[in-house]
Structure 1
Amino acid sequence: MKLVLLFRGMLFLLFLTWFCSGQPAPPLLRFSVYLDPSNMVYLRWDHDEQEMMTFDLQVHTTGWVAFGFSPHGELPGSDIVIGGVFPNGSIYFSDFHVVDEATLEEDDSQDYQLLSVTENETSTTMLFKRHLRTCDSNDLDITMDTARLITVFGTDDTVQLFKGQKFSKSLFLMRYRSPSNSTDPKIFFTYDLRLDNFAVPVEETKYACTFLPLPVVKQKHHIYKFEPVITPHNITLVHHILIYACGNASVLPSGIDDCYGANPDFALCSQVVVGWAVGGESYQFPDDAAYSIGTPWDPQYVRLEIHYSNFDLVSGLIDSSGVRIYYTPEVRKYDVGVLQTGIFTFPVHFIPPGAESYRSYGLCNSSQFDEMNGTPVPDLHVFAYLLHTHLAGRGVKVTQYRNGKQLGIICEDNKYDFTLQEIRDMKEILVIKPGDEILVECNFQTLDRSGITFAGPSTMNEMCLSFLFYYPRNNISSCMGYPDILYIAHVLKQEASDAVEGMMAMDFVDWNNETVKTAEKAAKEADQIVVIKTINVNVPPPSFLPTPRLLTCRAQRETEKAFRLCKHWSDMAKTLVCHQFVF
């Protein structure tokens, strides 16, 4: 480590002792979080219209402190600042980058502006700011993607970066709404939707479902906030929790069973009300919108779905996890809805092995929304989103098309982290009109896998989903697509006469960089089968539509073939019990 560079930077910064001592009180920063499990590193931050981000970092040490951005959560390749207070009261602060596992270099361009460095008996606090993009090749940009923050510190002022105590944390920095921006109602109630002492089976993957009543109210109320309620010792066991609204004409089973097992009734109800996944926290809707209950058009029952990942096959686990909802009679202007988009999980989504990057596509064409909804669907005003893949996911992008032309990107995260799946607010309301197309693109990496990764419920399977939170609510639950597998098989020079043979043919492909890119291109160009679900219909008939690239090649998708394909996949993956799909 080139410590001489550190002290070269310190010489011109010693004057900051008197400069910082006269600084005003720290600015009001809207966002804050602890960056480590022991609450030793506390970060406050905010950003402004001038694309400047301010950080206030407090670390439980009286020694040196390093903080910055990492490509993957490790020191090599990181963009960091190092600062502290010498015993004589003078301060040091400078902009560095980490070349490799043993080399630290000071940046020629110093792009972090120090506001103050202070120290008390137990902690060191650094207040500084930087532009989101500095145009320095040694600095990492702050974008709408998930950031990997890294903090390292020592016990004295002898900087030994590679021997310090280190913490890394994934964090979404470009937030636009903090809890202080939300107004709590004067009257509110809470209600828990939870399992009751459920015995988690000794299985790697379990989807447990049950049907629960919503609160009984005599007039319209709004659910304005929700939060996870996780049994403490099961925090690493629970992968996600979803609450689905049921149509009031639905005939629902009792008890708890596998959501997607032998009894298809436990897969009824598909309209998402609220959801939580790994890394998420509580969420409060904007002040002018919330989820409606208590009217004749609102659901009376919901399906609670909890995905357990018991990879260590631990026995004797009892769980009572679920979701706590907050509801109020102080109704808001709009009723919230959730539209699920992406790749229809069954039955033909696959990802080749050994891929540095492989992109999959799922299309939603909303031209049939009016017909499926039963009445004309008003414009969807999207205010928040949640992106979801499993362990192979590296990025998700949701794009909007109108009349064959791309309008723009609805939301994206090119640095997706499976451990941070949270609802994120849009900077501005985005309007989706009936007839628009929504294309969800997921980027996967499978360098550590020798076999095909199939889509499916297990964490080791894959998904590609986007949940769009919007108002005003309609009856559409989901709008997802999947590509023509016959077209992909034929492009890969595989013989296949139906979808089942097309999917099975993927096992005979010699997967290498060339065939991976060929399959990716074919999946992008293939026509898509679009499946639209409503709150009252489990799986309505599909539309078979071209992607926005208007390419050709069609295949007929039949119920029996889809079932055979799913069954074949289940036998291979050993993770799924199939029931009859209706297309």
Structure 2
Amino acid sequence: MNVAHHMLLFGCSTPGTTDEYWDCGEMAISESDTTLKKARPCSEGSHVLYAWARNAKTLELPEDVGFQVGKGTDIQYVVLQIHYSKKFPEGKTDNSGLFLMYTEELQSKLAGVLLLGVGGIIPPRTITYMETECSVEESKTIHPFAYRAHTHSLGRVVSGYSIRRDVYGKDHWKLLGKRDPLTAQMFYPVFDNSTITYGDRLLDVQWTVGKRNRPTQVGPTNNDEMCNFYLMYYVENDMPLNMKYCTTEGPPYYHWNNEGNDLNNIPDREASILD
């Protein structure tokens, strides 16, 4: 982690460029290497497959679970994005990366990743709650098995939930995962692996300490903040969700208890306090 701040593995229909490597944006606001082409990781069909930060350990998928890539699939390329903690001294190089294991045998359970994120602005020297929510609108059953929480330096607790509403209109919240994001940002087993299906909701909450004397925006650099909850899941004899991302505009515009939101039975304290 003293070298690579984080790494993201993308599946792409089309990569940002056909060059072997390129400039996809820097963590720090500084003059970038103008000799490299600038492009996003993917120009079409972007899927987050894996993320690593803070000396996270190896991820091993459950038996018979795999990401489908190659001919006839949405993922024609895999692209590794590395954000470095600092610039290298002149003449220094790096060999950070990932080892991928693959098979040509079709797996009965196909994996997917859903990224729940929040936009917005964190006021200076305040505790701010950042929340997102979306509904599953596809007739599929997903089996969650791993989660990962990601923030920069201001995040203190990140929690992810699924919600199912009963016939009486009461929301039943299931905690998928909760973590101090300043610990190793690896994929951990979910707290509750109950299936998620059509009509269920997925939610992400983070509380942050705005310890700076200025407002902090959500963004990719060290000067910004992020609130991300990655949910890794599989489907049996089906294709993963078409939905890859779930985001809201965040504070001060969006909160779960905004007028017009119909969420109920909200576990405010449990969602924002580490046990």
Band of TM-score, shorter chain: 0.7 to 0.9
Which of 388, 407, 422 is the equivalent residue of 2:172? 407
Residue 4 (structure 2) aligns with: 238
Instruction: Confirm or deny that 1:479 pairs with 2:250.
Output: no
Identity across matched positions, percent: 27
TM-score by length of structure 1 reads 0.39
Task: Indicate whether 1:277 and 2:9 are aligned.
Answer: no
Bigger RCO (CA 8 Å, 6+ sep): 2
Deviations 1:458-492 (A, max 9, x none): 1331111111111122333212222485xx4xxxx
The 1:385/1:314 distance shift into structure 2, 3 A limit, reads same
In the alignment, the residues of structure 2 paired with residue 260 and residue 363 of structure 1 have an alpha-carbon distance, to the nearest angstrom, of: 28
2:61 is matched by which residue type in structure 1?
F
What is the number of residues matched between the two proteins?
A: 244
Q: Which residue of 2 aligns with 1:259?
A: 24
Deviations 1:123-166 (A, max 9, x none): xxxxxxxxxxxxxxxxxxxxxxxxxxxxxxxxxxxxxxxxxxxx
Of the three residues 103, 114, 118, the one matched with 1:339 is: 114
Equivalent residue for 2:184, pick from 420, 423, 444: 420
Q: Distance in 1 between matches of 2:11 and 2:194?
A: 24
Aligned equivalent of 2:219, options 456, 480, 486: 456
Instruction: Indicate how the Cα distance of structure 1 residues 386 and 265 shifts in structure 2: closer, same or farther if over 3 A, else same.
Output: closer
**Contact 1:363/1:437, CA 8 A, preserved across alignment:** yes
Q: Find the aligned partners of 2:195 and 2:256 in 1 and give their Cα distance.
A: 25
2-side partners of 1:475 and 1:402: how far apart?
20
The corresponding residue for 1:358 is: 128
Could you say which structure has the larger radius of gyration? 1
The Cα of 1:260 is off from its aligned counterpart by: 4.7
Indicate how the Cα distance of structure 1 residues 266 and 436 shifts in structure 2: closer, same or farther if over 3 A, else same: same
For residues 238 and 301 of structure 1, the distance between their equivalents in structure 2, rounded to whole angstroms, comes to 22
Structure 1 residues 523, 424: CA separation in 2 closer, same or farther (over 3 Å shift)?
A: same
| Residue of structure 1 in register with 2:63 after alignment | 287
Q: Is the 8 A contact 1:361 1:523 kept in 2?
A: yes
TM-score by length of 2: 0.77
Q: How does 1:182-581 map to 2 (within 5 A)?
A: 235-247=1-13, 250=14, 252-255=16-19, 256-260=21-25, 263=38, 265-268=40-43, 269-310=45-86, 313-316=87-90, 317-343=92-118, 345=119, 349-355=120-126, 357-367=127-137, 370=138, 377-403=139-165, 405-413=170-178, 416-447=180-211, 449-472=212-235, 473-483=240-250, 488=253, 523-526=255-258, 547-549=261-263
Q: Give 1:423 deviation, angstroms.
A: 0.6
Q: Give the CA deviation at 1:365.
A: 2.6
**Could you list the runs of 4 or more consecutive aligned residues of structure 1 that deviate by over 4 angstroms after TM superposition?**
260-267
| Cα RMSD for the two superposed structures | 2.7
CA contact (8 A) 1:238 1:309 kept: yes
CA distance in structure 2 between the aligned counterparts of 1:382 and 1:276, rounded to whole angstroms: 19
- TM-superposed CA distance for 1:282, in Å, is 0.8
Matches within 5 A, 1:94-113: none
Report the Cα distance in structure 1 between the residues aligned to 2:156 and 2:199, rounded to whole angstroms. 30
Q: Which has the higher helix share?
A: 1
Q: What is the CA distance between 1:272 and its match in structure 2?
A: 1.3
